[in-house]
Amino acid sequence: MSSNLKLMSGNEAVAEGAIAAGVRFFAGYPISPSTEIAEVMSRRLPEVGGKFIQMEDEIASIAAVIGASLTGVKAMDATSGPGFSLKAENLGLAVMLETPLVLVNVQRVGPSTGIATLPAQGDVMMARWGTHGDHSIIALAPWSVEEAYYLTVKAVNLSEQFRTPVLLMSDAIIGYMKERVILPDPATLELVERPRPRFAAGEGEYLPYGADSTLVPPMAAYGEGYHWYANSSYHDQHGFEATANNREAEYLLWRLHAKITEHRPEVMMTESYELDDAEIVLFAYGSVARSALAAVRQARQQGIKLGLLRAQTLWPFADLEVKAIAQMPNVKAIMVPELNMGQMVTEVRAAAGAHVPVISLPHYDGTMIKPASILASIDRFYRGELTEETRQIPELAIARHYS
């Protein structure tokens, strides 16, 4: 067991998780703070008979990953902010072609070039809505190096199970931080393979977009003789253009969503800490959830009834879980610390409804949120100084514009 004890970064853990999950193709393009994932994959993949290529840009790399996946190979790509923007169109292509792949976004401060090596969570809404059209998506967020490994395996599994791209929303803290991890024997991992046609090529009519009650169509690989189309236009069950067939178009878009939402329990992962008697509940995800848990521990020592709901699955959103908390009689408020100006807080607010106030704790200077800062906000709440409506203006802005 001790030989599996490693000191590694989140980026390295993502790469090792991918290899363990059976990823055998990676196309990437260097960008901070995700580059180490590509570097490790370039070394590790050929060792296990896999393939790595550094493409000419971020668009080409996700396109190549889609192509590789269509040949039946588990495939992955990794990037950060600007690269995530560039990949947006082809992420929609992967949704439409129902191509399993994992795209890792090691988030940095944006918009634009932003601050290349500092952490943020500013892409979580883009993860949901970043490509044009009404698409479906799964997104996961790890809070530790070890979890970066396991959620990468989970992301690959979900992508295969549902024939969909899955986003792993890491950040510069998780990506760069080194922690002690104990890697499992890969043979003990439960791996999922995409659903396959039930008959050999030529022995029946293969419908590449014809789904059974799972709503996930079986997937042939190129070169197996099925002669099927991966079609980015609206298509019928055969893959033929259905752009003039409104009923087929409506059905396809419904199925792309429903194949995920109808299997919500298999996708949804959250963790609860100290919720039973909590008066205030933090909703947090990714690296911020570490500060949130530290705040919970410190608050409890001071006799403050603070709890935490940590979302490992960002999308689909944990609305039922949030709603249940909002309806708990003890809960006076939900607070949402995030490394952005307040993105997931809008979802939390929608799920909580009118039951409790949902207060945003935005943090967007490129540093980590400190537990003390969360505790200070709780103190302000109890003193009546912090409500949903409180304008939270940065120090420099007050000095320059409000004094």
Sole window of 32-40, 236-244, 308-316, 317-325 interacting with another protein (rule: CB under 8 A)? 236-244
Sole window of 51-59, 162-170, 255-263, 361-369 interacting with another protein (rule: CB under 8 A)? 51-59
Contact mark string toward another protein, 191..210, x via CB under 8 A: ----------x---------
Provide the terminal-to-terminal Cα distance of the chain, rounded to the nearest Å: 61
Where does 236-357 have alpha helices with state H?
246-261, 264-267, 288-301, 319-326, 344-352
CB of 178 to another protein, least distance (A): 21
Convert 118-149 to b/e letters by CB count within 10 Å (16 or more is b).
bbbbbbbbbbbebbeeebbbbbbbbbbbbbbb
Phi-psi region at 275: left, alpha or beta (left = phi > 0; alpha = psi -120 to 50) = alpha
Please identify which residue in 56, 266, 277, 388 interacts with another protein, judged by CB under 8 A.
56
Nearer to another protein, 200 or 341 (CB): 200
CB of 381 to another protein, least distance (A): 48
Sole window of 56-64, 291-299, 344-352, 360-368 interacting with another protein (rule: CB under 8 A)? 56-64
Where are the strands (E) in 55-100, listed by range?
Answer: 75-79
156 binds another protein (CB under 8 A): no
Structural tokens at position 260? 């995920």
> Site residues for another protein, window 66-95 (CB under 8 A)?
66-73, 75, 89-90, 93
Contact mark string toward another protein, 15..34, x via CB under 8 A: ---------xx-x-------
CB of 59 to another protein, least distance (A): 6
> Site residues for another protein, window 94-133 (CB under 8 A)?
97
CB of 114 to another protein, least distance (A): 24
Residues 6 or more apart in contact with residue 113 via CB below 8 angstroms: 82
Phi-psi region at 200: left, alpha or beta (left = phi > 0; alpha = psi -120 to 50) = beta
Nearer to another protein, 70 or 299 (CB): 70
Give CA 131 to chain center in angstroms: 15
Q: How many beta carbons lie within 10 A of that of residue 110, not counting itself?
A: 20
Structural tokens at position 71? 């040949």
245 binds another protein (CB under 8 A): no
Distance in angstroms (rounded) separating the CA atoms of residues 162 and 209: 13
Residue ranges that bind another protein, judged by CB under 8 A = 24-25, 27, 43, 46-47, 49, 51, 53, 55-57, 59-61, 63-73, 75, 89-90, 93, 97, 201, 221-233, 238-241
